[in-house]
Copies of this chain bind each other. A is one copy, B any other.
Amino acid sequence: MRTRDVNKENIIQEKAIEMIVKEGLDGFSMQKLAKAANVSPATLYIYYKDRDDLITQIATTVSHRLMETSLKGMHPKMSFADGLELQWKNRMEFFFKHPLDVEFIEQIRYMPTYDSVRDSIRQNFGDVLGRFVHNAINRGELQPLPFEVYWSIAFAPLYQLIKFHAQGSSPASEKFSINDDIVNQTLQLVIKALKP
């Protein structure tokens, strides 16, 4: 039998992300994607059940890549400050290497479509993070907090920084630059906030 062209699959993913970041999910269509990827529209339906499945599958793939990078070098027994800093650093590294991927995720993160992606992340990576937090609390390095409070303080600021950066292209707004200083300064404030 004829073999699947792996390269073709990658191009489809890449172009889809590019298009969605540039024009939004709104202006994204299967035919435009097919043209951009030099592929017949019908080919897309070999790889993906339908439009929705295409978006969900790509989002899941990218999210998993992001989470894997984010947890690189993490041990559940690390000190809280070290572990949080490592996660921030890892996420920033991913962001600088794959800015489009991150913008793509941020774009669909608040849509109904993303629900299943979130569940998949929780299933695959929830354990390590849960143990890390648990240990930090036991050692008195982290306040015991409801999950929502913890996450809102620990990661929402990082994502806000990333968004500032992504919005830097707006014409009338001043440009924001995310550099290591900005990120570190914010991280230190976050660690300070979470210390018991």
Contact = CB atoms under 8 A, between A and B. Distances in A.
A42 interface: no
A47 interface: no
A149 B180 CA distance: 12
Contact of A185 (B116, B145, B156, B160): B145
Given A148-B176, A186-B149, A186-B152, A24 B193 contact: no
Interface string A1-45: 000000000000000000000111110000000000000000000
Contacts of A110: 106-107, 109-110, 163, 166
Contacts of A46: none
Given A157-B152, A160-B152, A185-B145, A24 B112 contact: yes
A93 interface: no
Given A176-B148, A194-B189, A171 B115 contact: yes
Contacts of A157: 152-153, 156-157
A173 interface: yes
Interface string A138-182: 000000011111011101111111011011001111001010001
A113 interface: yes
Interface of A: 22-26, 106-107, 109-113, 115-116, 118-119, 122, 145-149, 151-153, 155-161, 163-164, 166-167, 170-173, 176, 178, 182, 185-186, 189-190, 192-194
Given A146-B185, A148-B178, A189-B193, 6 more contacts: A24-B25, A24-B111, A107-B111, A109-B110, A151-B164, A152-B156
